[in-house]
Amino acid sequence: GAGVLALPIAGGAYLYTSTRRDTAGDVPFDNPLAVPPLDEGDLRGGARNFSLDAEAGETPIKPGKATPTWGFNGSYLGPTLRARRGDDLRFTVRNHLEETTTVHFHGAHLPADCDGGPHQAIEPGGSWEPEWTVDQPATMLWYHPHPHGNTARHVYRGLAGLILIDDDVSDGLDLPREYGVDDVPLVVQDRNFDGDNALEESETWTSTTGIIGEDVIVNGTYGPYFEATTRRLRLRILNGSNARVMNFAFDDDREFLQIGSDGGLLTEPHRTRRALLSPAERADIVVDLEPGETVVLRSLPVEDVGVGSIFKRFNGMDDRLDVLQIRAADELADSPEVPAKLAEIASLSDEPAAERSFRLAGFSTINGDSMDMNRIDFGAQVDTVEEWTVRNTDEYHHNFHVHDVQFQVASIDGEAPPPPLAGWKDTVFLEPNRDYRLRMRFDQYTDPDLPYMYHCHILFHEDFGMMGQFVVLGEGEEVGTVPDMAAHG
């Protein structure tokens, strides 16, 4: 069970934090897993047209009263958008909320004015119409608000959704692909509910990371079960939590195959018993099932990653949480073997045109600076590869996310990355005091005045300023000046 622990900190203040939480075996699993509706867009004018409406509503989650929540085209989360590499996408995003928001396409390679970061604010009652051509490998991306200083609250209330991208490579592989049947997305989120089932938004007892939720919901379902009908089940997992790191495993410790990461399929399946995901990271996994069996997906305590034991405790990294029960039918349809070779990944081995270093410290700075909407930190040259060395200088956890690109982890403290980090990534967990060398190619020219973001995806840190801005410059260009932000409200 959980209790509250008060830790004395400097100045006679106290941090209030929960002790280790263990829900293994306690979650009733009496609600069928909700699967977000699939939306392949409206084919018009040679493009795939999508509409997203951010709105407030009420969602039955825990037994008893419904929970006031926000969602896209509904009361919680949003539709799963599906498109192919090469498609032209057109969006109409409307804001029916009473405050300014944005919709960011996390992991997407797109022009800066379509990114949906803090510079693409949508006023209450307003709308926004980004469009771009999909130019990246098959994978699962996601979308979520990114209004500066308010991202954590907007995501916590339920604004998030998935994007599935297919391409010729994924079409040519015999992988489970029937949405909601043998290819099931899991948006895993931790939440706290008060006595009336309203979302508890106070951060008073978590201090350095923002909200760590005591309950886990999957696609908005509390205590979910899924009825599997096939021998192999593909789960596309997003850690959609604001701050909690999750260490996915099955209750019988069975092996499974990880076949993809944030930005695409791996080169070959990775046989494992664990998938460690920090907030915003994704894992594409395939698990084998026996007829009639029941197996539970859990988040286990995070093994030794160098996070101090006190921080591990109050950031929930010692917790053991039930996530999803899988009930296999008595007769299971056959599924093909997972292919031994998946995608080709050309390594970004070009001589880097620039090397940069990023030090994350406290909960609000990178290289000593906090986010300033009017400061562009640097410009990368279009059509070059850069190498960024990123370091978490704290004893607690951070991660690192870069907009517009998928990067490669070239090394961690000089060593080759483990298989789950050897494919395309847009977010990487930073174990304390290690050097993560990331390589990325910038091939999308932007306006020198219009930046992309890089930041910690612990949303409380991001909101407090652990974020910076960069542009992608053409030949001979210099970093511009962000137009007066007052104009954006």
Task: Enter the DSSP assignment of 421.
Answer: G
Strands 161-166 and 80-84: parallel
CA dihedral 426, 429, 435, 437 (to 10 degrees): -20
By CB under 6 A, name the one of 403, 437, 439, 441 that touches ligand C2O: 403
By CB under 5 A, name the one of 191, 398, 437, 439 that touches Cu ion: 398
Q: Is 82 in the site for ligand C2O (CB under 6 A)?
A: no
Interface region with ligand C2O, contact rule CB under 6 A, candidates 18-26, 122-130, 248-256, 451-459: 451-459
Q: Is 457 in the site for Cu ion (CB under 5 A)?
A: no
Structural contact between residues 267 and 345, judged by C-beta atoms closer than 8 angstroms: yes
- Considering all CA atoms of the chain, what is the largest pairwise distance in Å, rounded to the nearest integer? 66
**What region, left, alpha or beta, does residue 156 occupy, with left being phi > 0 and alpha being psi -120 to 50 degrees?**
alpha
Least Å from the CB of residue 47 to ligand C2O: 24
Q: Is 458 in the site for ligand C2O (CB under 6 A)?
A: no
Closer of 153 and 461 to Cu ion (Cβ) = 461
Q: Is 119 in the site for Cu ion (CB under 5 A)?
A: no
How far apart, in whole angstroms, are the C-alpha atoms of residue 244 and residue 235? 20
Interface region with Cu ion, contact rule CB under 5 A, candidates 89-97, 126-134, 199-207, 400-408: 400-408
Q: Return the SS3 of 420.
A: helix
Residue 280 contact partner, candidates ligand C2O, Cu ion, none, CB within 5 to 8 A by sort of partner? ligand C2O
Closer of 154 and 398 to Cu ion (Cβ) = 398
By CB under 6 A, name the one of 21, 48, 94, 106 that touches ligand C2O: 106
Closer of 329 and 373 to Cu ion (Cβ) = 373
The contact mask relative to ligand C2O for 347-386 (x = CB under 6 A, - = no) is ----------------------------------------
Could you give the strand order of the β-sheet that contains 161-166, starting from the edge strand earlier in sequence? Answer: 38-39, 80-84, 161-166, 139-144, 104-106
Cα–Cα nearest to 301, from 290, 285, 283, 313: 313
Q: Is 112 in the site for ligand C2O (CB under 6 A)?
A: no
Interface region with Cu ion, contact rule CB under 5 A, candidates 16-24, 65-73, 235-243, 395-403: 395-403
- What percent helix, strand, coil does the chain show, rounded to 5? 5, 45, 50
Q: Is 280 in the site for ligand C2O (CB under 6 A)?
A: yes
Q: What angle do CA 243, 438, 212 make, to 5 degrees?
A: 5
Which residues in this chain contact ligand C2O in the complex, by CB under 6 A?
104, 106, 144, 146, 280, 401, 403, 453, 455, 457
